[in-house]
């Protein structure tokens, strides 16, 4: 099971945290030049300083790219590359000031690494941050021990190990605790929200059952009862009466079968459209395998939210929802006939688009035959 992150649980909150991530990344970029200006005499190997700074630039660029709301969820492979770049920056920074430290392990790299670990808390799981913090801490301690015999300060070797790793350890473990707190609080909020939604569904089941029963009663009152009354008042039964009886039987059977065979997706669209009875909205679900009913609650909630936004926010007159399962994944195509251009629709759906991109594997928004088409696919 993939460790949970704020980005997976609540993509919009992760998107809202991006300004903080950007600020931390800019601070990490600004620290090395500041150190170079204030203590440039300690950089005895300028080439290694350039290598270290390039590694920091690459790590921050990767962080800023993967934290964009329009990007898919940050995967573990690129996250490992991010951590390896931070390790390379630490080693190169230590090499650039080897033997010239005026104070106790005053390299800038541990502070930069700690800041970037804090910056990635919305996007990486707490367990991963703990592991990598331990790795960075041990690396900084080892570098401190290696540089101790050649350092300017005359203190015990263990002091270099502690001072060299203290900064990254404090910031890194604090970042892990913060990531764990974000995930825990978000999951607690979601559990309460699902419980509330389940209670609302149970409260509405009676109304839905009543609506189904009313449709059956309508068929009986408008067609079957008048027919039976006419048969009672007629002394003989003609061939036309038999044909009418067959037609009524087929009609009643069709209503009953339609209710039984109606897919979850069609039921959901009918429920959304029923909230706007004055509007003539056509809602059709193409889900022959009833994939919607077998989907998780989170996926069904996203499908319902998309239909509601299409009807209430965009004023769609037609909603066509198509569900397929290529190679075991859930592929969704939602076509909306809206009185907006593709550009206006994209602007109105901005929050929904960011949410879908954060939760799904692939997303596209395009225009086809005057209609707005949204496509996305589940499965990682």
- In tens, the pLDDT along 314-347 reads 888 899 999 998 877 889 999 999 888 888 888 8
Looking at the predicted structure, is the pLDDT value of residue 264 above 50?
Answer: yes
Residues 224-251: tens digit of each pLDDT: 667 666 666 677 767 776 777 777 777 6
Measured between alpha carbons, how far is 236 from 256 in angstroms, rounded to an integer? 30
The encoded tokens of residue 278 equal: 């004055």
Q: Which of 26-35, 178-187, 224-233: highest mean pLDDT?
A: 26-35
Residues 104-128: tens digit of each pLDDT: 555 788 999 999 999 999 889 999 9
Check if the beta carbon of residue 279 is closer than 8 Å to that of residue 313: no
Check if the beta carbon of residue 65 is closer than 8 Å to that of residue 110: no
For residue 63, what are the contacts with CB-CB under 8 A and spacing of at least 6?
Answer: 21, 25, 82, 116, 119, 120
Write down the pTM of the prediction. Answer: 0.58
Closest CA to 356 of 9, 11, 6, 3: 11
Q: Give kind and range of the element (H or E) at residue 188.
A: helix 157-219
Check if the beta carbon of residue 15 is closer than 8 Å to that of residue 8: no
Looking at the predicted structure, is the pLDDT value of residue 103 above 80?
Answer: no
């Amino acid at each position: 099971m993939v460790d949970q992150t704020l980005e997976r649980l609540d993509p919009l909150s992760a998107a809202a945290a991006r300004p903080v991530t950007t600020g931390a990344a800019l601070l990490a970029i600004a620290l090395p030049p500041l150190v170079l200006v204030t203590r440039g005499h300690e950089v005895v190997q300028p080439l290694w300083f350039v290598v270290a700074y390039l590694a920091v630039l690459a790590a921050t660029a990767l962080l800023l790219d993967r934290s964009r709301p329009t990007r898919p969820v940050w995967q573990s492979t690129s996250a490992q590359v991010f951590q390896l770049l931070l390790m390379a920056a630490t080693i190169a920074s230590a090499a650039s000031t080897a033997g010239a430290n005026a104070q106790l392990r005053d390299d800038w790299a541990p502070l930069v690494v700690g800041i970037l670990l804090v910056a990635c808390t919305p996007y990486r799981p707490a367990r991963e941050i703990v592991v990598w913090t331990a790795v960075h801490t041990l690396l900084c301690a080892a570098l401190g021990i290696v540089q101790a015999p050649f350092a300017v300060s005359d203190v015990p070797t263990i002091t270099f190990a502690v001072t060299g790793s203290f900064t990254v350890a404090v910031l890194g473990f604090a970042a892990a605790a913060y990531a764990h707190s974000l995930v825990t609080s978000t999951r607690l909020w979601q559990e309460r929200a699902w419980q509330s939604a389940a209670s609302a569904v149970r409260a509405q089941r009676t109304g839905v059952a009543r609506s189904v029963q009313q449709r059956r009663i309508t068929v009986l009152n408008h067609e079957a009862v008048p027919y039976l009354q006419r048969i009672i008042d007629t002394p003989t039964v003609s061939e036309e009466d038999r044909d009418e009886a067959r037609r009524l039987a087929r009609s009643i059977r069709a209503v009953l079968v339609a209710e039984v065979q109606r897919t979850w997706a069609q039921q959901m669209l009918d429920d959304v459209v029923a909230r706007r009875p004055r509007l003539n909205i056509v809602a059709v679900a193409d889900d022959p395998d009833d994939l919607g009913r077998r989907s998780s609650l989170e996926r069904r909630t996203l499908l319902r939210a998309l239909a509601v936004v299409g009807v209430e926010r965009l004023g769609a007159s037609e909603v066509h929802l198509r569900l397929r399962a290529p190679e075991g994944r859930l592929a969704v195509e939602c076509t909306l006939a809206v009185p907006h251009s593709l550009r206006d629709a994209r602007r109105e759906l901005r929050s929904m688009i960011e949410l879908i991109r954060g939760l799904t594997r692939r997303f596209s928004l395009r225009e086809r035959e005057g209609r707005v088409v949204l496509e996305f696919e589940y499965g990682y």
